[in-house]
Amino acid sequence: MSTTLVTDPKLNVEKNGFLDIELDPEMDLFAEIERLKKEKNAIILAHYYQEPDIQDVADYIGDSLGLAQKAQQTQADLIVFAGVHFMAETAKILNPTKKVVIPDLKAGCSLSDSCPPPLFAQFKAQHPDHLVISYINCSAGIKALSDIICTSSNAQQIVESLPKEQKIIFAPDKNLGAYINKATGRNMVLWDGACMVHEIFSVEKISKLKLRHPNAKIIAHPECEEPVLRLADYIGSTTQLLKYTEKDAATEYIVATETGILHQMMKSNPQKTFIPAPPNNSCACNDCPHMKRNTLEKIYLCMEYEVPEITMDEELRLAAKKPIDRMLELSAQFGLI
Ligand code: SF4
C-alpha cells in the first residue's frame, strides 16, 4: 500500500517525470511486484545496466537486441521497461497494441541526446547517396531517418552484408562506428556522438590495474574509445561479454563497460573475479546515471498506476519500425536471434 493517496497520477508524472509517492517502508516490494505481474499480465524487461534488485525481479534481462526481440514477441498486456527512454520507445514501436510503461521518463541517454533528428536530417541531406545505419541507442526520430538499425551484437555483420561499394552513414556512436570501420575495412561517415559512460575509462588507470592483476583479461564494449579498445583481450556487446566470461578459462577480468553487467557476470561465474575498469575522474564508479534513475520503488509504482506511459504518433512509429524490422530480419538470417 502506498502511504499517500494519488488523486491524479498523470499530473504527478508530468511534474516529476515519475510518480513521486512515498511508500510504506515496510512494503515487500518484491512480493507486490510479483502480485502485479500476475494481476495485470505484465512482463518486466530489464537491461543489464539496471541495479541488481531490478535485474532480480525482471522476467527477461538482456541487451538492446534481446530486449527488442522480447518486446516484439511478448503476449503480456503490460510491458514494464526497466531501461532508458529509447529502449521503451523501441518496445512501443514493435508492439503498439500493448501498454508500455517506464519507471522514470527522465531516464534518457547521452548518446541518443547527442543526435537530434533535425540536425541529423541536415547531415543526411549532405550525403544523399549514403545508406543510413543507426545504432539502436537513438530516438524514434532518428530511427525514422534510418535504413537499418543495428546493435553492438550485430553491427559488424549488418555492415558486412552490404556491398563494399555501398556508401554508409553510421550514427550516432562514433566509437562503435570507428570500431566497425576498422573491423570491416569500410569508410563509413560517422555522426559525432558518444556515450558518457563508455568515454570515461582511463587508459592509464586500466594499465596500472593490469599491472596489479597480471592474469586478468581486459574485456570492453565497442562504445569505448579506441585507446581503451586497444588494451582489450576481447571486445563485444554486453551479452557477448557475459557469454565470453562464461566460456573463457581466465578467472579474473577487468570489465570496461557499465557496472550493472557485473551482477550477471558474478551470478553466472561465482568462482571468478570481476573488476570494474576505472574511469578518468575522481569518482570510482562508472554507472550510467540515466539507467540508475530506475529503482524498485519506481518499478512498483509504474506497474500499480500504469504511468508514465510511452505513446507515439502512428506515422513516426511506422517509419521507425521499418529499419528495426530490417535489423531483426538480418539478425535472424545471421542466426543471432
Ligand atoms: S550507458 Fe551510455 S548508451 Fe547506455 S543508456 Fe547510458 S548513456 Fe546511453
Residue carrying the nine cell digits 533528428: 117
Q: Which fold has domain 9-107+291-311?
A: Rossmann fold (3.40.50)
The 3-class secondary structure across 103-152, one letter per residue, is: CCCCCCCHHHHCCCHHHHHHHHHCCCCCEEEEECCCCHHHHHCCCEEECC
Angstrom distance (rounded) from CA 317 to CA 314? 5
**Helix runs in 167-313, H state only:** 174-184, 203-212, 226-231, 238-247, 261-268, 296-305
> Which of 104, 134, 195, when mutated, tests ligand 1's pocket best, judged by the most ligand atoms within 8 Å of its CB?
195
Q: 168: part of which helix (H) or strand (E)? A: strand 168-171
**Do the beta carbons of residue 152 and residue 135 sit within 8 Å?**
yes
The answer to whether the Cα torsion of 153, 186, 112, 126 is positive or negative is: negative
Is the beta carbon of 196 within 6 A of some atom in ligand 1?
A: yes
Cell of 29: 516490494
pLDDT confidence of residue 4: 57
167 C-alpha to ligand 1 centroid (Å): 27
> Which are the contacts of 269, defined by CB distance < 8 A and separation ≥ 6?
245, 246
Closest CA to 191 of 137, 257, 140: 137
Is the beta carbon of 290 within 6 A of some atom in ligand 1?
A: yes
Cell of 82: 526497466
Q: Whose CA is nearest to atom 5 of ligand 1?
A: 109
Cα 221 to Cα 141, 194, 266, 331: the distances in Å are 25, 13, 18, 19
- The annotation status of 142 as a binding-site residue, yes or no, is no
| CATH 2.60.40.1250 holds for 111-195+317-334 | no
Is the beta carbon of 195 within 6 A of some atom in ligand 1?
A: yes
Angstrom distance (rounded) from CA 219 to CA 234? 5
In terms of CATH architecture, what is 203-276? 3-Layer(aba) Sandwich (3.40)
Is the beta carbon of 109 within 6 A of some atom in ligand 1?
A: yes
Closest CA to 114 of 290, 256, 241: 290
- The annotation status of 195 as a binding-site residue, yes or no, is yes
Q: 43: part of which helix (H) or strand (E)? A: strand 42-47
Q: Whose CA is nearest to atom 3 of ligand 1?
A: 195
pLDDT confidence of residue 1: 46
Is the beta carbon of 138 within 6 A of some atom in ligand 1?
A: no
The domain segmentation of the chain, as residue ranges, is 9-107+291-311, 111-195+317-334, 203-276
DSSP state of 310: P
Closest CA to 289 of 59, 143, 106, 35: 106
The ligand 1 atom at the shortest distance from the C-alpha of residue 198 is 2
Is the beta carbon of 110 within 6 A of some atom in ligand 1?
A: yes
Which residues on neighbouring strands pair with residue 217, listed in sequence order?
253
- Walking along the chain (337 residues) 10 residues at a time, the average pLDDT comes out as 65 87 93 98 96 96 88 94 96 94 96 97 98 97 98 95 97 97 97 94 95 97 96 96 98 96 96 93 78 96 96 98 96 86
The ligand 1 atom at the shortest distance from the C-alpha of residue 290 is 6
CA angle 148, 234, 275 (to 5 degrees): 115
Are both 9-107+291-311 and 203-276 of the same fold?
yes
DSSP state of 88: H
Residue 221: how many CB atoms within 10 A of its CB? Answer: 28
Q: Whose CA is nearest to atom 2 of ligand 1?
A: 195
pLDDT confidence of residue 280: 82
